[in-house]
Structure 1
Amino acid sequence: MSGKTALVVGGTSGIGLATARRLQALGATVHIAGRSADRLAAVAVSDPGLVGHRADGGDREAIAGVIEGIGTLDWLVVSLSSSEGAGPVAELDLEQLRRAFEGKFWGHLTTVQAALPHLAPTGSITLVSAISARAAIPGTAGLAAVNGAVEALVRPLAVELAPLRVNAVSPGLVDTPWWSGLPAEAREAYFAQAARALPARRVATPEEVAEVVALAATNANLTGTVIEADGGARLVSLA
C-alpha cells in the first residue's frame, strides 16, 4: 500500500496513535494532528516517521490548513474523544455534555467537511465512536448520545459521498489515556471487574482496536458499516 497518504486526527495517543502506526506499517505516509504540543513532541521522538501537525479537529480553519498542506488524502481517520458527558442522567451536567458534543461529534463533522475537497474518490473516511452508543450501561446516556450521533453519520454519508467509503469503529473498554482521570488503583480494579464480565474476558489494547480501524480504512469492500470492536461489551451488563 505504498504511495497512500493518511491523516489521523486525534493521532497523538491511544487508538489514534496506534492506528497511525498501523497504517505506516502498511506502507502509507501518515500524518497525525492533535492539540497537545507536548504529545506531538513525544511522538516526534518515539515515531519520527509520522508527520505531526498541531491542530484541533473542531477548528475548521486550522484543520483545513493542515489538510491543504498535505494535498490529496487516501485515508482519513478521525479519532477525537472527550472525557466529559458521563454520569447518571438526573445529575448530568448539561454544560459538560455540550462540551462533549463540541469536542467529539462536532469535531468529527468539522474535520470531515474540511477534508472532503482533498479526499481521493477511491479513498475512505473512518470515524471512531464507542460502544456506549449501542450498549445499555447505566450512567452513560450522555456518552451514548455523543457516540450515537457520530455513528448516525456513517450510513447516509456512505451513500452521499460514494464511491468514497465511510465507516466507523465502535470500541468498548480500551486501556488508553481516556481513563487517566481515574486513580491507577481504581482503574485497575474496574478493568479486572469488567474483564470478568466481558465475553472476551479482557480489556482491549489500543493496538487491537487499531487493527480494526486500519481494516475499515483500507478494505475497498467496506462502506456504511459500524464495526463493533468491543470484546462483547454490548452483550452483557457492565454496571
Structure 2
Amino acid sequence: MSNPTALVVGGTSGIGLATARQLRARGATVHIAGRDKQRLDAVATTDPDLIGHCADGGDRAAMTALATELGGIDWLVVTLAGSDGAGPIADLDLTMLRNAFEAKFWGHLTTVQAVLPHLSPTGSITLLGAVTARAGMPGTAGIAAVNGAVEALVRPLAAELAPIRVNAISPGFVDTPWWSGLPAEIKQPYFEQAAQALPARRIATAEDVAEVVALAATNPNITGTIIEADGGARLVSMP
C-alpha cells in the first residue's frame, strides 16, 4: 500500500502516540485525534509530522466530521482508555463503571461507526483491549467487563466487514500516563513487584505495545485476532 493514511484516535499520549510514531515511520500520513488541546499542542511541538485534530472519539458528530475531512482512511487505530471501573465488586461504584464503558467501549464503537464509511475496503481497524479481559485478577471485574466488551467486537466485525481487517491488541502492565493517578512512591515498588511476577520480568513500554499495534494495523494477513502483548500476565497470579 503506497502513501497510506492512518487515523489514531486517542493518539496524544501513551500507546496511541507511540503507535502514531510507528505508523509514521512506516511511511503513512498519520492523523491523531484527542480531546485535550494541551496534549495536541505538545505533540505538535515534539512530533510536527503528526497531524493533530481536537475530537472526542465518543462524539459521533465530531468523528464523522473528522473522517469526512480526511476522506479515505486506510488504517484506523482506536486506543481510547479510561481509569474508572477498578475495585472489589462489593464496593464498586457502578456510576464510575458506566463512565468507563462510555469512555472506552462506547468510544471505540462510536469511532468505528463514524469512520467506517470512509475506510478503504483494503484497510484495517485495530482496537485496544487489555489483559483484564481474560485474566482472573481480583478487583478487576469492572474493567474486565469493559475490555472484554471491546475485544468481543473483533471476530464478528472481522467477518462482517471483510475484506476490511479487524484486530485488537491486549496489553498488560504498561508504563504509560494511565498510571499517573498513583503517586511515584507507590507506583515504583508496585511495578517492581509486578515485574518479578511476570514471565517477561519487565513492565512494558508504550513502544513495546505500539510495535504490535502497528503490526496488526498494517499486516494484510492478520484479521479477527486478539494479540496478547502482556508479558505473560495472563499466565500467572499477579499482585
Is the Cα contact below 8 Å between 1:2 and 1:26 reproduced in 2?
A: no
**2:79 is the counterpart of 1:66:** no
Residue of structure 1 equivalent to 2:128? 128
State the distance in 1 between where 2:40 and 2:5 align: 19
Q: What is the TM-score of this pair, normalised by structure 1?
A: 0.99
Deviation string 1:154-180 (CA, Å, 9 cap, x unpaired) is: 000000000000000000000000000
**2:227 is the counterpart of 1:230:** no
Residue of structure 2 equivalent to 1:112? 112
Residue 17 of structure 1: CA displacement?
Answer: 0.1
Counterparts of 1:74-93 in structure 2, within 5 Å, are 74-93=74-93
Q: Partner amino acid for 2:236?
A: V
Residue of structure 2 equivalent to 1:52? 52
Residue 185 of structure 1: CA displacement?
Answer: 1.3
Residue 2 of structure 1: CA displacement?
Answer: 4.3
Q: Equivalent residue of 1:40, what SS?
A: helix
Q: Equivalent residue of 1:81, what SS?
A: coil
**2:181 is the counterpart of 1:181:** yes
Q: Which runs of 5+ in 2 are unaligned?
A: none
Q: Which runs of 5+ in 1 are unaligned?
A: none
State the distance in 2 between where 1:116 and 1:165 align: 12
Runs of 4 or more, structure 1, over 2 Å off, are none
Q: Equivalent residue of 1:159, what SS?
A: helix
> Aligned pairs, how many?
239
State the distance in 1 between where 2:12 and 2:189 align: 27
Q: What is the TM-score of this pair, normalised by structure 2?
A: 0.99
State the distance in 2 between where 1:95 and 1:135 align: 24
Q: Equivalent residue of 1:126, what SS?
A: strand
Q: Equivalent residue of 1:222, what SS?
A: coil
State the distance in 2 between where 1:19 and 1:228 align: 16
Residue of structure 2 equivalent to 1:216? 216
Q: Equivalent residue of 2:169, what SS?
A: strand
Residue 25 of structure 1: CA displacement?
Answer: 0.2
Matched-pair identity in %: 74
State the distance in 1 between where 2:212 and 2:15 align: 10
State the distance in 2 between where 1:66 and 1:11 align: 14
Q: Partner amino acid for 1:49?
A: D
Residue of structure 1 equivalent to 2:163? 163
Q: Equivalent residue of 2:30, what SS?
A: strand
Q: Equivalent residue of 1:210, what SS?
A: helix
State the distance in 1 between where 2:222 and 2:152 align: 17
- Over aligned residues, Cα RMSD in angstroms? 0.6
